[in-house]
């Protein structure tokens, strides 16, 4: 009897209530975060040296393993518990029928830049109580400090490692979790793709703990969610996510390791004309290419 249960192909989460499934997914995330954080501390101490956590190599190792343990492994385990396969639930086993989606993802990563800058500026206008504002400011300063240390390695070797840890790993791990797992789960639960997309985008933005970029990440998360729905392939939002993060890493590399802030560039004093033109152009071009992406989805669905 025990052997039949152990090797049964009946999914563990089959017939479980959605709230129970969500709690199980949360358990996987917390367990993965704890285990891989401890593992990263051990590896950093063993391979890099005691007290070297605040170095580019140490932080890259911690960031990379944290992404794998917090997002990627829980996504695979949840998929297995849902369908007895690690990659089927996330639709990661297929490419889009129309490869033009990858072209849209590349173009949109540029047209979205002024839109993101505008959203960051709007975010600054949201009032917060003093103690909460200070808490968010402290968390953002800590997060920026980590990125500054990572990007301080301005060698070509460092750029490659930064792209690996800050672009490739987050793109794969976070998209497997947020779009491939969480969004699919909410779609099953709420029976609505739009609700699933925006709830997932809200969680995606919140979990970064950076209030100044909350609106920008919310819209970015929804954009990735719609790409996933329209293309029916997880690899399109993965590629789009990679392009977005890679641009930031490359910009920091070209700026001698300093973080690049889109809003600082577009909203400099004396740049009013450039700002207006960039905002209008960015919004219009983004809307046009999103419309074409949506129409491509219609072609696939017909």
pTM: 0.88
pLDDT at 63 over 50: yes
Structural domain boundaries of the chain?
2-301
DSSP tag of 213: G
Closest CA to 235 of 44, 101, 134, 53: 101
Please tell me the predicted confidence (pLDDT) of residue 2: 46
d(CA 206, CA 216): 11
pLDDT tens-digit series, residues 71-96: 999 999 999 999 888 888 888 888 88
Please tell me the predicted confidence (pLDDT) of residue 8: 53
The better pLDDT of the pair 56, 68 is held by: 68
Which of 62-66, 69-73, 131-135 is least confident? 131-135
Please tell me the predicted confidence (pLDDT) of residue 175: 96
DSSP 32-49: HHHHHHHHHHHHIIIII-
Please tell me the predicted confidence (pLDDT) of residue 148: 86
Highest mean pLDDT among 79-93, 182-196, 246-260, 278-292: 182-196
Contact predicate 249/161, CB 8 Å: no
Confidence of residue 6 (pLDDT cuts 50, 70, 90): very low
Alpha helix positions (H), 129-271:
130-151, 156-163, 169-177, 184-190, 193-206, 214-231, 235-254, 262-266
Other Cβ atoms within 10 Å of 51 Cβ, number: 10
d(CA 76, CA 1): 27
Query: At a CB cut-off of 8 Å and minimum separation 6, what does 237 contact?
Result: 105, 175, 179, 224, 225, 227, 228, 231
């Amino acid at each position: 009897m025990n052997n039949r249960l152990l090797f049964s192909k009946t999914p563990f989460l089959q017939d479980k209530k959605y709230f129970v499934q969500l709690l199980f997914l949360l358990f996987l995330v917390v367990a993965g975060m704890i285990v891989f954080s401890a593992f990263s501390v051990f590896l950093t101490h063993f391979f890099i040296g005691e007290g070297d956590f605040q170095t580019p190599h140490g932080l890259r190792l911690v960031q990379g393993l944290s992404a794998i343990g917090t997002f990627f492994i829980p996504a695979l385990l949840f998929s297995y518990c849902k369908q007895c396969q690690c990659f089927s639930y996330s639709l990661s086993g297929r490419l889009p029928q129309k490869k033009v989606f990858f072209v849209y993802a590349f173009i949109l990563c540029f047209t979205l830049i002024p839109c993101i800058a505008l959203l960051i500026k709007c975010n600054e206008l949201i009032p917060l109580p003093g103690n909460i504002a200070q808490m968010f400011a402290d968390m953002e300063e800590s997060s920026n400090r980590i990125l500054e240390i990572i990007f301080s390695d301005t060698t070509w070797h460092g750029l490659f490692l930064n792209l690996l840890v800050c672009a490739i790993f987050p793109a794969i791990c976070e998209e497997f979790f947020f779009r491939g797992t969480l969004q699919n789960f909410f779609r099953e639960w709420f029976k609505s793709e739009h609700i699933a997309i925006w709830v997932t985008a809200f969680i995606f933005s919140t979990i970064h703990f950076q209030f100044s970029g909350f609106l920008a990440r919310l819209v970015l998360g929804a954009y990735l969610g719609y790409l996933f729905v329209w293309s029916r392939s997880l690899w399109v939002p993965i590629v789009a996510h990679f392009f977005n993060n890679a641009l930031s890493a490359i910009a920091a590399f070209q700026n001698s390791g300093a973080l690049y802030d889109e809003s600082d560039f577009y909203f400099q004093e004396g740049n009013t004309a450039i700002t207006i033109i960039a905002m209008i152009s960015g919004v219009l071009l983004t809307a046009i290419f999103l419309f074409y992406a949506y129409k491509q989805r219609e072609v696939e669905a017909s």
